Structure 1
Amino acid sequence: MNRYLASHVANLPPSGIRKFFDLVATMKDVISLGVGEPDFVTPWTVRESGIFSLEQGQTMYTSNAGLFELREELSHHLATSLGLSYNPLDEILITSGASEAVDLVMRAVLAPGDVVLVPDPSYVSYAPCATLAGASVRYVPTHAKEAFRLRVEDLTQAYSPKAKLLVLSYPNNPTGAIMQREDLLPIADFVAKHDLLVLADDIYSDLTYAGAHTSFASLPGMHDRTLFVSGFSKSYAMTGWRIGYVAGHKDLIGGMTKIHQYTMLCAPITGQFAALEALRSASEAKTDMVTAYDRRRRLMVHGFRQMGLDCFEPLGAFYVFPNISITNLSSEEFAEELLKEEKVAVVPGTAFGPSGEGHIRCSYAYSTEQLQEALKRIAHFVKPRLA
């Protein structure tokens, strides 16, 4: 029945993360460092709010844009935490996870022939979403020697006159890199010069371990050019609740809302009530989780360096991206052989773009005990290959 599939869907590669972890499902006693999901449960006050909403019979549709009360709270949160001003009436859209928000941005602003500039390596969804919107992708390489920051020099080399949208995802998945205000200002000049829109995926903004996060939308002249995407999955351990959001100029949000109302209708109401409570009461729980991630971050960097692998120090998100090229194995070979020999699952760096070759991604959103055992097994795997 493949012949019935649209060619652009049939030719779309499966997720480099999910494809690899189909193998994991067939094995026992595997330590998985693959999925970017908090090992914490959603804070109790948040869960209780969701339960209470069900007990009160709140099981209906909400407005297409989402509960107004949640949009109001988000408007206040973004203003106080990031200095961003969005009108809750028409500049914030609640989505079914940040992933839907990314898809909506792409489908609302891209047309066939448009080009999207995507930092490489970066999250696996950006290029496929651009393809499904009829656009093409130009990867912009980033490098460990530059702390995986996006640079104007590399943007200039990748630029096409057909470019319409630049993706910015910092803190970055998979590298854990961050970009500070002084790093972003030249990018803002480039965006203005070439009349680009920006998809700023700030889903990991709360997981920053060196200074405060700077939102691209807060830079001079960038507010209306930026579509700010985030959600509750990572910061509040709410992956299964599927609540994200996008904020931006009302004309662009209006376009996305039209697509959203014909496809998703609205985000799950129970998750929206839970997200509202997360903003109101879960800041302390969020801080505790970030503190735990920071300890694990340092453990992982030290562990990889101690076994002889060069490991960039991530300053955001909850991933490390060690360089394994010294083993003379490709990223795919390393991940497959490590899984078979030591029963540790990691993601090949190439799942995140061509520049990921020579690296693997390891999530440290797991218990310290699991991480220590995983490092022990990886070191056992690596040692004979460094001799």
Structure 2
Amino acid sequence: MGECHLVGISTKFGGSHPNPGPDFKGFWESRFGGKKEPEQNGHANGEANGSVRKRTSDLAVYEQFEQQARQTQVRAAAIRDGNADVIQKPLLPSFESAEMRNLAETLLRDIIRGSPDVKWESIKGLENAKRLLKEAVVMPIKYPKYFTGLLSPWKGILLFGPPGTGKTMLAKAVATECKTTFFNISASSIVSKWRGDSEKLVKVLFELARHHAPSTIFLDEIDAIISQRGEARSEHEASRRLKTELLIQMDGLTKTNDLVFVLAATNLPWELDAAMLRRLEKRILVPLPEAEARQAMFEELLPATTSKLEVPYDILVEKTEGYSGSDIRLVCKEAAMQPLRRLMSVLEASDELVPEEELPEVGPLKPEDIELALRNTRPSAHLHAHRYEKFNQDYGSQVDVPFNHGARA
């Protein structure tokens, strides 16, 4: 009797039966695996195979972490290219803890999936800045054979200059040209109210960048993140720890072969810490647009064919000395607004409501409209132009290309 009982137990637990079957699996998981026994009717839970469901309260911490990882993969399995539905890489690498994974998920919103779709041709002027960026970032990715040893790629590039000159557009053009993963990072991305999370966010950011290499980390307004350190300045302990972690992570990039580039932009380069300037090996001035670039902007924004007027481009170029690219756009917008204002005054004077399909067209642009726009729009960044030139002479990167005489060094 006892032997038969033992045989029954052995058979129940699969010890002597070659194929224990679903009865053993359900009994074992219900007793030891934290799962419910399957219903006799396979459709009881709405599933044809009678699959079991985990109880979250009975799961171990590790099992909860694994379940969260599977849910994240279902939610966003991979970064997909903007033009083709091709899986490139998993979103998240393997982290040492669930806390680091949660921090990584908060940074995923700052990844620009696919190409930013900004071409070099869409940026008027800035030939010197384009050439330096191609040399520092584009060429090492296209021709890695030549950039080894002493000629290893520059890992840190600083774009500095007056506001509204196209620093962000240059960074996106680099990501488009190189087809790299683009991390658009600002101070809000890596600063947390919880103690110690800011440093961990910086560490996770660089781990994500290495995982998705080749990648570009764009730190916009970097002076707000890592200004000069010192006792004379009001500096919080958490801010100092964040700066230290950022310096350590950037220093680690130079000791690896991962194609991870840090592109930083600032309007106040003289506010940066000296240790950060050392790590930003290429420091490129993005100046105010020259005469040729300003004329190209006016021709694109105010084409003569649509304005029904011979636009005086030479006068516009002459009177916009010291204007930034955003200032020139405001001038064109203000000029194009004048015919619309004349039309609005006529429509508002009438008591009758004109149907939308019967609304008259906007009138042509007049010479006085352009003159009025120039009077009402003033430059916003010309007062500190000499400070940028001085910083460029002291710290800026210069290159002289003998075979390209048209480009200015």
TM-score normalised over the length of structure 1: 0.28
**Structure number with higher relative contact order (C-alpha < 8 Å, ≥ 6 residues apart):** 1
> Greater strand percent: which structure?
1
Q: Which has the larger radius of gyration?
A: 2
